[in-house]
Amino acid sequence: MIHMHVGEAKRVSIAVDEMLAKAEEVLQRVWGYSSFRPLQQEAVLSALLGRDSVVVLPTGGGKSVCFQVPALCLDGLAVVVSPLISLMKDQVDALQANGVDAAFINSSQSLEAQREIASRIREGRLKLLYVAPERLLTDRMLDFLRSIKVSLFAIDEAHCISDWGHDFRPEYRGLRVLKERFSNIPVHAYTATAPEHVRRDIVRQLGLVDAEVLVGSFDRPNLVYRMLPIDNRLQQIIEVVKRHPEQSGIVYCISRKEVERTAGALNSLGIKAVPYHAGLDDQSRRRHQEAFIRDEVDIVVATVAFGMGIDKPDVRYVIHAGMPKSIEHYQQESGRAGRDGLESECVLLYSGGDILTWKRMLDPLEPSARERALRALSSINNLCNGALCRHRSLSAYFGQDLGVDNCGACDVCLGELDQVEDPITLGQKILSCVLRLDQRFGADYTAKVLVGANDRRILQAGHDQLSTYGLLKDEPLAAIRQWIEQLIGQQFLMREGEYQLLRVSPTGARLLKRELTPILTVPPKRTAAPRRTIAENQSWEGVDRGLFERLKELRNREAQLRGVPAYVIFLDTTLRELARVRPSSLSVFRRIKGMGDQKLKDYGQLFLDGLDAYCATQPLTRDVLTPVQPGTSGPSATSPPGQSAPNLSAAAVSSFEYWRQGMTIEAVATKMGRATSTVFGYLTDFIHFEGITDPSPWVPAESIPIITAALKASEDGRLKPIFEALEGKYSYEAIRLVKLCSRDEAIKHE
């Protein structure tokens, strides 16, 4: 603890304000971003103040800015340690496109190129140097760095230093010499995935001194998660691909063989996809990866070997055609979608068969490692079968509370999983069958008893005499099997021992007493198109799609000309904003997010001409600088009719008539033969898209003013605190409906 006089403290705080103002000016001038994101500001400040730090931000959270901005504000050279050449190249490309003098150094470069970089450093021009750890740690390099002024060391993918993490790299271990040899230069560590114990290990391994540890939210709100049991794998993959024409996507498979098979099948159906796995030679791998980055091919089908070196920001979907190994792996792999912050889809297809495949692959491991791997596998299996909000479950796994009740961005919250009518009774039936079997059988056997199968083993054991034999004879075996998984996922049942025998847990005992309700879903109907999320509709709000496409062509042509990936020129977010604002002058152009000085100079006029040409043929307003107002939906006045109209499911639309008649949620649920949770989703659509402002048909009139007052009093509109402030007297549903109906609330918070 440092003690200061009041005057001194004041001086420090003024100095801090000045530093931050400078950092913001750089962010605006170079990157074209108007403000820092949560935690970026703290991370930047700790770098500016020269304090060691560990920064954990999810993929796409904006870690690079945390050290790149300070690198430009401080004197000297920032040295960035990065594990892979392709990552370095991407970052250096992007920095150069923003007019920043940056370079990477590696063994593939000629001596001359390296000498040239060294002289840029000596002249004090180069601001950022990217280097791999093994290269950095050579005596020559360390001696060189001693002879110049280094502003900071930034260590990317810092979890690689810890063998407790999921991606240990021994060469990272040597990095502790940095603090030993350069004790007065701050070291900053950045990573997307580091639970508490790994963070502590990073501090220890690097020998950081009084490090500031900053941990962001693990949630990725722009990702829509869907987890579906496999019924026809290829068909399910194709459905997702078709939702994203001409967009980049990754399909992950467990084995090389499946990669080849899936890529082949897609190609034979006319969907262009390239395979990627460790069995391909270096050259093919590089070629396929390059084709993907350059948008020459939309889809990569890959084993998990793919992705570590990929920073492509506009991957719009990630499909897991098989179960990932663990929740950490899932978070990382699915996290490759939507780095640019635009809505993207993550679909996980799972099956019991995949679990068996993994188990077989784990066989050769030594017992303790195998045990750990099996636990990780069962966590992800439970997540899939949990049928609880996916965002919430993922956050909870990483020890964070999501804080919202309905995420609006997963299959569960979007009401795409239809629940069975009476889950308590169904759950009781299954649990009592487990008890009747003396908790001495596995899931498959139990399901067969419940369906009343004519199985030799069952008959021999006399289990056809049990009262629970054939108790669910009208249900498909696969559905029963799924419910058992869901009951395990929700901790009503446990699997025990080598033979994975089912046991009723204490939670299960409470279900038997009808004290708790499980979530049990009916198998998804294949024809039901997934619903578009509200966020997705909002991000297109006011965007002229035709213009967006035109600008995209322009960008892609320019990218080809310059031999760089398209996203290095402009991200899709920037193009969308251009197509929404439609600047008519360079000064308005400058106000577009992502438009730094250098890009304005390089591409401003070109895109302005493109805009002029397009707008000359269309009656479009220009310079629409008002921000999008989320929540106030409906097709924008300037878009061609129909084009940006929200895409609702047919079922939702067919419910609108009932809502208009003022029918209650229960009545509509009965009428449509769907769960109340499902039709509640339809009702929110109705309110949203028809601009309804009066919730009284669905919320008791006397409660509306009370809930409204609580909403007004709330700082951020999060439902849970409001629910608690109202002492649980009003349901989440009621609060949500009132909130939806009060437009200004929607603008403020949604």
**Contact between 248 and ligand ADP per CB under 6 A:** no
If the CB atoms of residues 19 and 412 are measured against Zn ion, the closer one turns out to be 412
If the CB atoms of residues 277 and 532 are measured against Zn ion, the closer one turns out to be 532
Which of ligand ADP, Zn ion, none does residue 407 bind (CB under 5 to 8 Å by kind)? Zn ion
**Contact between 63 and ligand ADP per CB under 6 A:** yes
DSSP β-ladder status, 344-350 and 223-229: parallel
**Contact between 407 and Zn ion per CB under 5 A:** yes
Question: x/- site string to ligand ADP, residues 570 to 609, per CB under 6 A?
Answer: -x--------------------------------------
Q: What are phi and psi of 128, to 5 degrees?
A: -135, 135
**Contact between 307 and ligand ADP per CB under 6 A:** no
Which of Zn ion, ligand ADP, none does residue 33 bind (CB under 5 to 8 Å by kind)? ligand ADP
* Amino acid at site 458: I
If the CB atoms of residues 39 and 451 are measured against ligand ADP, the closer one turns out to be 39
Tokens 């869907």 sit on residue:
226
If the CB atoms of residues 332 and 676 are measured against ligand ADP, the closer one turns out to be 332
Helix (H) or strand (E) holding 213: strand 212-215
Pick from 340, 343, 405, 541 the residue near ligand ADP by CB under 6 A: 340
Which of Zn ion, ligand ADP, none does residue 413 bind (CB under 5 to 8 Å by kind)? Zn ion
Pick from 22, 29, 37, 591 the residue near ligand ADP by CB under 6 A: 37
Q: Smallest distance, Å, CB 391 to Zn ion?
A: 5
d(CA 348, CA 327): 12
Tokens 């920043």 sit on residue:
100
* Amino acid at site 434: V
Q: What are phi and psi of 318, to 5 degrees?
A: -130, 125
d(CA 381, CA 556): 41
Number of residues that bind ligand ADP (CB under 6 A): 17
d(CA 66, CA 43): 6
**Contact between 322 and ligand ADP per CB under 6 A:** no
If the CB atoms of residues 219 and 405 are measured against ligand ADP, the closer one turns out to be 219
Pick from 165, 216, 249, 313 the residue near ligand ADP by CB under 6 A: 313
Of 59-67, 129-137, 511-519, 646-654, which segment contacts ligand ADP by CB under 6 A? 59-67
Pick from 46, 64, 644, 678 the residue near ligand ADP by CB under 6 A: 64
> How many residues belong to the chain?
750
If the CB atoms of residues 65 and 178 are measured against ligand ADP, the closer one turns out to be 65
d(CA 330, CA 333): 5
Of 41-49, 250-258, 407-415, 646-654, which segment contacts Zn ion by CB under 5 A? 407-415
Q: Smallest distance, Å, CB 472 to ligand ADP?
A: 47
Of 55-63, 251-259, 410-418, 602-610, which segment contacts ligand ADP by CB under 6 A? 55-63
**Cβ neighbours of residue 383 closer than 8 Å, sequence gap 6 or more:** 227, 327, 330, 390, 393, 394, 397, 489
Binding to Zn ion (CB under 5 A) within 412-431 occurs at 413
Which residue number places its CB atom closest to ligand ADP?
Answer: 62
Q: Smallest distance, Å, CB 215 to ligand ADP?
A: 13
DSSP β-ladder status, 493-496 and 501-504: antiparallel
The three-class DSSP label of residue 202 is: helix
With contact defined as beta carbons under 8 Å apart, do 644 and 379 qualify? no
**Cβ neighbours of residue 99 closer than 8 Å, sequence gap 6 or more:** 30, 596, 597, 598, 601
What residues form DSSP beta bridges with 77? 150
Which of Zn ion, ligand ADP, none does residue 395 bind (CB under 5 to 8 Å by kind)? none
With contact defined as beta carbons under 8 Å apart, do 560 and 569 qualify? no
Residue 739 tokens, joined: 């909130």
Pick from 72, 79, 410, 746 the residue near Zn ion by CB under 5 A: 410
Pick from 23, 26, 30, 36 the residue near ligand ADP by CB under 6 A: 36
Q: Smallest distance, Å, CB 311 to ligand ADP?
A: 6
Q: Smallest distance, Å, CB 390 to Zn ion?
A: 6
**Contact between 33 and ligand ADP per CB under 6 A:** yes
Of 58-66, 271-279, 518-526, 736-744, which segment contacts ligand ADP by CB under 6 A? 58-66
If the CB atoms of residues 223 and 551 are measured against Zn ion, the closer one turns out to be 223
Gap between the terminal Cα atoms of the chain: 41
Of 186-194, 391-399, 462-470, 548-556, which segment contacts Zn ion by CB under 5 A? 391-399
Residue 18 tokens, joined: 């000045």
**Contact between 663 and Zn ion per CB under 5 A:** no
d(CA 408, CA 381): 22
Of 147-155, 384-392, 713-721, 726-734, which segment contacts Zn ion by CB under 5 A? 384-392
Pick from 60, 565, 681, 695 the residue near ligand ADP by CB under 6 A: 60
Helix 423-436 and helix 443-451: axis angle, to 10°?
A: 110
User: Which among 382, 372, 384 is positioned nearest to 348, based on CA atoms?
Assistant: 384
Number of residues that bind Zn ion (CB under 5 A): 5
CA angle 391, 319, 59 (to 5 degrees): 50
**Contact between 646 and ligand ADP per CB under 6 A:** no
**Contact between 57 and ligand ADP per CB under 6 A:** yes
Please give the torsion angle defined by the CA atoms of residues 365, 369, 374 and 380, in that order, rounded to the nearest 10 degrees: -120
d(CA 31, CA 62): 12
Residue 519 tokens, joined: 């979530």
Q: What are phi and psi of 191, to 5 degrees?
A: -160, 160
**Cβ neighbours of residue 698 closer than 8 Å, sequence gap 6 or more:** 664, 665, 683, 734, 737
The residue ranges that bind ligand ADP (CB under 6 A) are 33, 36-37, 40, 57, 59-65, 313, 339-341, 571
Please give the residue ranges that form the binding site for Zn ion (CB under 5 A). Answer: 389, 391, 407, 410, 413
